[in-house]
Structures are given as structure tokens and as C-alpha cells.
Amino acid sequence: MDTGVKTGKVDAKALEACFAEYFVGASPLGVMGGEAGEDFADMIVAGVDNYRRMGATEFVAEEVAVTPIDALHAMARVFWLFGYKRPSDGKTGTIRFENVYFVSLAGGDPKIFAWITPDEQAALKEHGLM
């Protein structure tokens, strides 16, 4: 994600390959599910573009802690650093997020099939990015 946020050039196909064909996400906004269909790569690019418009300068996974669940599943806690330069006044800062991802190893390649995120929107608003 950092390369896409930093440069605006997103390898959407590589990011898309990280996800299972179907997935579910949970946040303070509720639970949503979907299919990683034909427009999934476009959604990834749009998400990165949105972060850049807000002033994102980097989005780096600082630490990943993996907990095996069984032979075919794991839980990954990813500690993200979101760096920004606020467009309104040029102020710089960082926000730290912790997301939890559930990964399937069935089929050989790890695939994210679920995630839990904090109230990212509230943090972005608190920092004047929304």
C-alpha cells in the first residue's frame, strides 16, 4: 500500500491477489461482505486515490503478528502507520491503526477472507483529514 499511497502507482492486481474470492469486513460502521469481482481492482485504486486526496504520504505495515488458528487458517494483527500532510494547511502527522485479518491457506497461497478495522473515519476526522 505504501508504494501506491506514496507514488499514486498502485499494483492493484497484486493487492487483489491477496484477497479470497469472497470476504467479510467489520468496523464500527457495521459488517459488510462481498465478492472480489471484476471491479475489485478498480475499488483498490479508488481507495488509494482517496487516501492521497486526504493528504496521505505513506501507509506502512510497521509490524505483523501472526497467530496460527489451525493448519489452514491464521489471524494476522497488522500495525499500520499512516503518514499525512494535510492539504488545508500543510501540517504533517501520523496516525497508527491496528487491523486484524483472517487468512486462509487453503489452496497454497494465503488469502485474506475477513478483517476487523477500528474507527478509521473518526481518526481521520480527528486529524482534520476529512
Domain range spanning residue 6? 2-126
pLDDT tens digits for the chain (130 residues)? Answer: 445 566 667 777 888 888 999 999 999 999 999 888 778 888 888 888 888 889 989 888 899 999 999 999 999 999 999 999 999 999 999 999 999 999 999 988 999 999 999 988 899 999 999 8
CATH assignment of the domain containing 76: 3.10.450.50
pTM, full prediction: 0.84
Whole-number Å distance between alpha carbons of 18 and 79:
17
Number of domains in the chain: 1
Secondary structure class of 129 (helix, strand, coil): coil
Q: How many CB atoms lie within 10 A of CB 51?
A: 19
